Structure 1
Protein backbone atom coordinates (compact mmCIF):
# COMPACT_ATOMS: atom_id res chain seq x y z
CA UNK A 1 0.00 0.00 0.00
CA UNK A 2 1.10 3.58 -0.49
CA UNK A 3 -0.10 7.15 -0.09
CA UNK A 4 -1.90 7.37 -3.44
CA UNK A 5 -2.61 3.76 -4.42
CA UNK A 6 -4.84 1.25 -2.65
CA UNK A 7 -4.90 -2.56 -3.04
CA UNK A 8 -8.44 -2.58 -4.48
CA UNK A 9 -7.17 -0.61 -7.53
CA UNK A 10 -4.95 -3.57 -8.46
CA UNK A 11 -7.47 -6.42 -8.02
CA UNK A 12 -7.76 -8.98 -10.81
CA UNK A 13 -10.76 -8.15 -13.00
CA UNK A 14 -12.05 -11.72 -12.68
CA UNK A 15 -12.35 -11.46 -8.90
CA UNK A 16 -9.69 -14.05 -8.15
CA UNK A 17 -7.68 -13.30 -4.98
CA UNK A 18 -4.07 -12.28 -5.20
CA UNK A 19 -1.36 -14.42 -3.58
CA UNK A 20 0.32 -11.27 -2.24
CA UNK A 21 -0.55 -9.66 1.08
CA UNK A 22 -1.15 -6.26 -0.60
CA UNK A 23 -2.48 -7.59 -3.96
CA UNK A 24 0.77 -6.49 -5.63
CA UNK A 25 4.34 -6.42 -4.43
CA UNK A 26 5.56 -3.33 -2.58
CA UNK A 27 8.04 -2.51 -5.36
CA UNK A 28 5.13 -1.72 -7.69
CA UNK A 29 3.62 0.72 -5.20
CA UNK A 30 7.04 2.36 -4.87
CA UNK A 31 7.47 2.59 -8.65
CA UNK A 32 4.02 4.11 -9.14
CA UNK A 33 4.52 6.65 -6.34
CA UNK A 34 7.77 7.77 -7.98
CA UNK A 35 6.08 8.09 -11.39
CA UNK A 36 3.14 9.98 -9.88
CA UNK A 37 5.52 12.42 -8.18
CA UNK A 38 7.33 13.07 -11.48
CA UNK A 39 4.02 13.34 -13.39
CA UNK A 40 2.59 15.73 -10.80
CA UNK A 41 -0.97 14.45 -11.14
CA UNK A 42 -3.07 11.40 -10.36
CA UNK A 43 -2.33 8.18 -12.25
CA UNK A 44 -5.06 5.62 -12.78
CA UNK A 45 -4.66 1.83 -12.87
CA UNK A 46 -6.25 0.03 -15.84
CA UNK A 47 -4.81 -3.35 -14.89
CA UNK A 48 -2.68 -4.38 -11.93
CA UNK A 49 -2.59 -7.91 -10.62
CA UNK A 50 -4.04 -10.53 -12.98
CA UNK A 51 -4.90 -14.06 -12.00
CA UNK A 52 -3.33 -16.59 -14.38
CA UNK A 53 -6.80 -17.26 -15.80
CA UNK A 54 -7.59 -13.59 -16.40
CA UNK A 55 -4.13 -13.01 -17.86
CA UNK A 56 -4.70 -15.83 -20.37
CA UNK A 57 -8.17 -14.48 -21.20
CA UNK A 58 -6.77 -11.05 -22.11
CA UNK A 59 -3.90 -12.51 -24.14
CA UNK A 60 -1.12 -11.79 -21.64
CA UNK A 61 2.14 -13.73 -21.85
CA UNK A 62 2.30 -16.78 -19.59
CA UNK A 63 4.87 -15.43 -17.14
CA UNK A 64 3.56 -11.86 -17.21
CA UNK A 65 4.72 -9.49 -14.51
CA UNK A 66 1.02 -8.77 -13.94
CA UNK A 67 0.59 -12.33 -12.65
CA UNK A 68 3.60 -11.83 -10.37
CA UNK A 69 2.16 -8.61 -8.87
CA UNK A 70 4.99 -6.58 -10.41
CA UNK A 71 3.23 -4.66 -13.23
CA UNK A 72 0.49 -2.14 -13.89
CA UNK A 73 -1.08 -0.60 -16.96
CA UNK A 74 -1.51 3.08 -16.13
CA UNK A 75 -3.05 6.17 -17.64
CA UNK A 76 -3.77 9.80 -16.85
CA UNK A 77 -7.28 11.08 -16.11
CA UNK A 78 -9.67 10.90 -19.06
CA UNK A 79 -10.53 14.34 -20.39
CA UNK A 80 -9.87 16.84 -23.15
CA UNK A 81 -6.08 16.73 -22.61
CA UNK A 82 -5.88 12.93 -22.40
CA UNK A 83 -3.61 12.42 -25.43
CA UNK A 84 -1.22 15.17 -24.33
CA UNK A 85 -1.12 13.89 -20.74
CA UNK A 86 -0.62 10.30 -21.91
CA UNK A 87 2.31 11.49 -24.01
CA UNK A 88 3.81 13.17 -20.94
CA UNK A 89 3.30 10.01 -18.88
CA UNK A 90 5.00 7.91 -21.56
CA UNK A 91 8.03 10.23 -21.60
CA UNK A 92 8.31 10.16 -17.81
CA UNK A 93 7.93 6.37 -17.62
CA UNK A 94 10.52 5.90 -20.36
CA UNK A 95 13.00 8.13 -18.56
CA UNK A 96 12.39 7.14 -14.95
CA UNK A 97 11.28 3.49 -14.89
CA UNK A 98 14.22 1.14 -14.32
CA UNK A 99 12.19 -1.89 -15.45
CA UNK A 100 9.87 -2.58 -18.36
CA UNK A 101 7.84 0.07 -20.16
CA UNK A 102 5.34 -0.71 -22.91
CA UNK A 103 3.78 2.06 -24.97
CA UNK A 104 0.15 1.52 -26.00
CA UNK A 105 -2.52 3.73 -27.57
CA UNK A 106 -4.44 4.39 -24.34
CA UNK A 107 -2.08 3.42 -21.53
CA UNK A 108 1.49 2.73 -20.46
CA UNK A 109 2.61 -0.61 -19.06
CA UNK A 110 5.22 -0.35 -16.28
CA UNK A 111 6.90 -3.07 -14.25
CA UNK A 112 9.90 -3.52 -12.03
CA UNK A 113 11.39 -6.45 -13.93
CA UNK A 114 14.54 -6.05 -16.07
CA UNK A 115 15.01 -2.99 -18.29
CA UNK A 116 13.00 -3.30 -21.56
CA UNK A 117 11.04 -1.01 -23.88
CA UNK A 118 8.44 -1.91 -26.52
CA UNK A 119 5.47 -0.64 -28.50
CA UNK A 120 2.25 -2.56 -28.10
Structure 2
Protein backbone atom coordinates (compact mmCIF):
# COMPACT_ATOMS: atom_id res chain seq x y z
CA UNK A 1 0.00 0.00 0.00
CA UNK A 2 1.45 3.32 -1.12
CA UNK A 3 1.25 5.95 1.67
CA UNK A 4 2.99 8.77 -0.20
CA UNK A 5 4.81 9.00 -3.54
CA UNK A 6 8.03 7.47 -2.14
CA UNK A 7 6.96 5.47 0.94
CA UNK A 8 4.90 2.32 1.33
CA UNK A 9 3.25 0.75 4.34
CA UNK A 10 5.56 -2.26 4.04
CA UNK A 11 8.66 0.00 4.28
CA UNK A 12 7.37 1.36 7.58
CA UNK A 13 6.35 -2.00 9.05
CA UNK A 14 8.85 -4.49 7.63
CA UNK A 15 11.09 -6.16 10.20
CA UNK A 16 13.59 -8.96 9.83
CA UNK A 17 13.29 -9.59 13.58
CA UNK A 18 9.50 -9.91 13.32
CA UNK A 19 9.85 -12.41 10.46
CA UNK A 20 12.52 -14.42 12.27
CA UNK A 21 10.53 -14.55 15.54
CA UNK A 22 7.15 -14.82 13.78
CA UNK A 23 5.85 -11.66 15.44
CA UNK A 24 2.78 -10.02 13.92
CA UNK A 25 3.71 -6.40 13.15
CA UNK A 26 0.44 -5.36 11.53
CA UNK A 27 -0.65 -1.85 12.57
CA UNK A 28 -4.19 -1.09 13.70
CA UNK A 29 -6.40 1.65 12.22
CA UNK A 30 -5.24 4.37 14.65
CA UNK A 31 -1.63 3.54 13.87
CA UNK A 32 -2.35 3.70 10.14
CA UNK A 33 -3.20 7.41 10.46
CA UNK A 34 0.06 7.98 12.35
CA UNK A 35 2.02 6.10 9.67
CA UNK A 36 0.46 8.31 7.00
CA UNK A 37 1.67 11.40 8.91
CA UNK A 38 5.10 9.81 9.35
CA UNK A 39 5.35 9.05 5.61
CA UNK A 40 4.49 12.70 4.88
CA UNK A 41 7.28 13.82 7.23
CA UNK A 42 9.68 11.44 5.48
CA UNK A 43 8.69 12.96 2.11
CA UNK A 44 9.65 16.37 3.50
CA UNK A 45 12.95 14.93 4.75
CA UNK A 46 13.61 13.40 1.33
CA UNK A 47 12.95 16.77 -0.35
CA UNK A 48 15.31 18.58 2.05
CA UNK A 49 18.00 16.00 1.28
CA UNK A 50 17.76 16.73 -2.43
CA UNK A 51 15.42 13.90 -3.35
CA UNK A 52 17.87 11.08 -2.56
CA UNK A 53 16.39 7.74 -1.48
CA UNK A 54 15.81 7.17 2.22
CA UNK A 55 16.43 3.69 3.62
CA UNK A 56 14.09 2.89 6.52
CA UNK A 57 15.58 0.45 9.04
CA UNK A 58 12.74 0.66 11.56
CA UNK A 59 9.30 2.23 11.55
CA UNK A 60 6.23 0.90 13.35
CA UNK A 61 6.86 -1.75 16.01
CA UNK A 62 4.16 -3.78 17.70
CA UNK A 63 4.61 -4.17 21.48
CA UNK A 64 6.00 -7.68 20.99
CA UNK A 65 8.48 -6.54 18.34
CA UNK A 66 9.53 -3.52 20.39
CA UNK A 67 10.26 -5.79 23.36
CA UNK A 68 12.16 -8.23 21.13
CA UNK A 69 14.49 -5.49 19.85
CA UNK A 70 14.95 -3.96 23.31
CA UNK A 71 13.07 -0.75 22.46
CA UNK A 72 11.90 1.74 25.07
CA UNK A 73 8.47 1.11 26.56
CA UNK A 74 7.60 4.71 25.63
CA UNK A 75 9.01 4.55 22.09
CA UNK A 76 7.18 6.53 19.42
CA UNK A 77 7.79 3.49 17.16
CA UNK A 78 4.96 1.75 19.11
CA UNK A 79 2.53 4.40 17.87
CA UNK A 80 3.78 4.54 14.28
CA UNK A 81 5.19 8.00 14.93
CA UNK A 82 8.92 7.34 14.45
CA UNK A 83 11.34 6.01 11.88
CA UNK A 84 15.02 5.14 11.90
CA UNK A 85 16.72 5.76 8.57
CA UNK A 86 19.80 6.55 6.55
CA UNK A 87 20.27 8.27 3.20
CA UNK A 88 23.63 6.96 1.94
CA UNK A 89 23.54 9.06 -1.24
CA UNK A 90 23.27 12.21 0.90
CA UNK A 91 25.91 11.47 3.54
CA UNK A 92 26.35 10.45 7.14
CA UNK A 93 23.54 10.47 9.69
CA UNK A 94 25.24 13.50 11.32
CA UNK A 95 25.16 15.36 7.98
CA UNK A 96 21.48 14.44 7.62
CA UNK A 97 20.67 15.79 11.09
CA UNK A 98 22.58 19.00 10.41
CA UNK A 99 20.69 19.50 7.14
CA UNK A 100 17.29 18.87 8.76
CA UNK A 101 18.07 21.31 11.57
CA UNK A 102 19.19 23.99 9.11
CA UNK A 103 16.11 23.48 6.91
CA UNK A 104 13.73 23.90 9.86
CA UNK A 105 11.92 20.58 9.41
CA UNK A 106 9.45 20.16 12.27
CA UNK A 107 9.81 17.01 14.39
CA UNK A 108 9.25 15.98 17.98
CA UNK A 109 12.57 14.15 18.37
CA UNK A 110 15.61 14.02 16.12
CA UNK A 111 18.24 11.61 17.40
CA UNK A 112 21.70 10.96 15.98
CA UNK A 113 22.15 7.30 16.86
CA UNK A 114 25.44 5.86 18.07
CA UNK A 115 28.32 7.94 16.74
CA UNK A 116 31.60 6.24 17.67
CA UNK A 117 35.26 6.12 16.75
CA UNK A 118 34.33 3.57 14.06
CA UNK A 119 31.35 5.58 12.83
CA UNK A 120 31.88 9.24 13.82
CA UNK A 121 28.95 10.32 11.65
CA UNK A 122 26.61 7.97 13.52
CA UNK A 123 24.85 4.79 12.46
CA UNK A 124 21.34 6.11 11.68
CA UNK A 125 18.87 8.94 12.30
CA UNK A 126 15.73 8.59 14.42
CA UNK A 127 12.97 11.07 13.64
CA UNK A 128 9.66 11.19 15.46
CA UNK A 129 6.40 13.07 15.53
CA UNK A 130 4.54 14.08 18.71
CA UNK A 131 1.66 11.93 19.91
CA UNK A 132 -0.35 14.98 20.88
CA UNK A 133 0.27 18.69 21.02
CA UNK A 134 3.20 20.79 20.03
CA UNK A 135 6.46 19.15 18.86
CA UNK A 136 9.29 19.45 21.40
CA UNK A 137 11.90 19.88 18.64
CA UNK A 138 14.25 17.84 20.80
CA UNK A 139 17.71 17.13 19.35
CA UNK A 140 19.62 14.29 20.99
CA UNK A 141 22.61 12.04 20.46
CA UNK A 142 22.40 8.41 21.58
CA UNK A 143 25.79 7.20 22.79
CA UNK A 144 26.46 3.59 23.72
CA UNK A 145 29.12 3.02 26.37
CA UNK A 146 29.64 -0.08 28.45
CA UNK A 147 26.60 -1.76 26.91
CA UNK A 148 24.25 1.06 27.97
CA UNK A 149 22.81 3.85 25.85
CA UNK A 150 22.61 7.36 27.21
CA UNK A 151 21.10 10.39 25.53
CA UNK A 152 22.85 13.72 25.42
CA UNK A 153 21.25 16.99 24.34
CA UNK A 154 22.32 18.26 20.91
CA UNK A 155 24.53 16.70 18.27
CA UNK A 156 27.48 15.41 20.28
CA UNK A 157 30.76 14.14 18.88
CA UNK A 158 32.00 10.72 20.07
**Correspondence for 2:117:** none
- SS at 1:67 equivalent: helix
Gaps of 5+ in 1: none
The alpha-carbon distance between structure 1 residues 112 and 27, as it changes in their structure 2 partners (threshold 3 A), is: same
After superposition, what is the alpha-carbon deviation per residue over 1:77-106, rounded to whole angstroms, capped at 9, x for unaligned? Answer: 3xxx77x34332111233423321111121
After superposition, what is the alpha-carbon deviation per residue over 1:22-55, rounded to whole angstroms, capped at 9, x for unaligned? Answer: 4852210111000100001111101000011111
The TM-score, its normalising length taken from structure 1, stands at 0.84
Between Structure 1 and Structure 2, whose CA radius of gyration is higher? 2
Q: Find 1:67's aligned residue among 47, 70, 78.
A: 78
Q: How does 1:96-111 map to 2 (within 5 A)?
A: 96-104=105-113, 105-111=122-128
Deviation of 1:71 (Å): 0.4
Q: How does 1:34-113 map to 2 (within 5 A)?
A: 34-40=44-50, 41-77=52-88, 84-95=91-102, 96-104=105-113, 105-113=122-130
Q: For CA contacts below 8 A with separation 6 or more, give which structure has more relative contact order.
A: 1
Q: Quick check: 2:32–2:80 contact (8 Å CA) kept in 1?
A: no
Which structure 1 residue ranges, 4+ long, deviate > 2 Å from structure 2? 20-25, 84-88, 92-95
- SS at 1:46 equivalent: strand
The alpha-carbon distance between structure 1 residues 118 and 85, as it changes in their structure 2 partners (threshold 3 A), is: closer
**Correspondence for 1:5:** 7
Question: How many pairs does the alignment contain?
Answer: 116
Instruction: Give the strand-richer structure, 1 or 2.
Output: 2
